Amino acid sequence: MNIKKAAIAALKGLFLIFFLCLLAGILYVAELLRR
Amino acid sequence: MKLPERFFSRVLLAYLPLMVYPYGFFRSCVAAAWIVLFFWGSVLFFWLTRRFFFRPVLKHAFFLWLIVWGQAVWAVTKLPPFWILSVFFLTPSPFFDDRASTDPVRIFSKKIPRYAFERIAAGIGFAGFTALLALVKDVAAKDLGLGIFEQPAGTLLVIAAIAFLWKNQPYQKRG
């Protein structure tokens, strides 16, 4: 059970990083399009 | 912060940030259409991914999402980012409640059509209200020359006056 909880927490952490990268990517593409 | 649940008050609240744009009918409609599409897209995105976030992070992730999109659209289309406030006001308020559950919902449950209908109705109502006010502005201010309709605030004042008079009609005897 603990391993399962830890795995879910790790996946959620990975998803958070992915989400932040997604936002950074949106800003980056917007900067590219502006030029 | 308590946001109104009622349909019309949400639409009216979401319209307020649009008042700063000095747009005509066409550009107002384009801005409203973009806001509604973005609102639906955000709802769909967070509906699909809400269980992947840590529950306390979800609210902040949503604000970050709004800020980033406001900045990105501002950079690309030069649309000042006030529209993001409209999206915020259209967003269902349970979303900001930390106690709201993120339990799984069955795909064929009755909750989904009702949830989707409320969001779609809010979007269409907002777009329709914005188009109506932009049309009133164009027709009444430009064609008829009524000065009060040149500002959206004037139009809202007239609407409020009509609503006030409607609510306070003198008593009529029947028969």
Cα–Cα distance, B74 to B76 (Å, whole number): 6
- Which of B72, B111, B88, B75 is CA-nearest to residue B35? B88
Q: Quick check: is B42 in a domain?
A: yes
Domain count along chain B: 1
Q: Does B73 touch chain A (CB under 8 A)?
A: yes
Q: Quick check: is B175 in a domain?
A: no
B64 neighbourhood in chain A, CB within 8 Å: 23
Least confident window among B61-65, B94-98, B169-173? B94-98
- Single-letter amino acid code for the residue at B171: Y
Q: Which residue has the tokens 């946001």?
A: B3
Q: Quick check: is B114 in a domain?
A: yes
Q: Quick check: is B91 in a domain?
A: yes
Q: What is the mean pLDDT of residues B31-59?
A: 88
Q: Quick check: is B172 in a domain?
A: no
Residues of chain A with pLDDT > 90: what percent? 69
Q: Quick check: is B15 in a domain?
A: yes
Q: What is the mean pLDDT of residues B68-88?
A: 89
Q: What is the mean pLDDT of residues B83-90?
A: 88
Q: Quick check: is B33 in a domain?
A: yes
Q: What is the mean pLDDT of residues B4-27?
A: 81
Q: Taking the model in full, what pTM does it have?
A: 0.81
B69 neighbourhood in chain A, CB within 8 Å: 26
Q: Quick check: is B1 in a domain?
A: no
B60: closest CA of chain A, how far (Å): 11
- Give the ipTM: 0.86
- Structural domain of residue B150, as residue ranges? 7-167
pLDDT at A29: 93
End-to-end CA, chain B: 49
Q: Does B54 touch chain A (CB under 8 A)?
A: yes
pLDDT at A20: 94
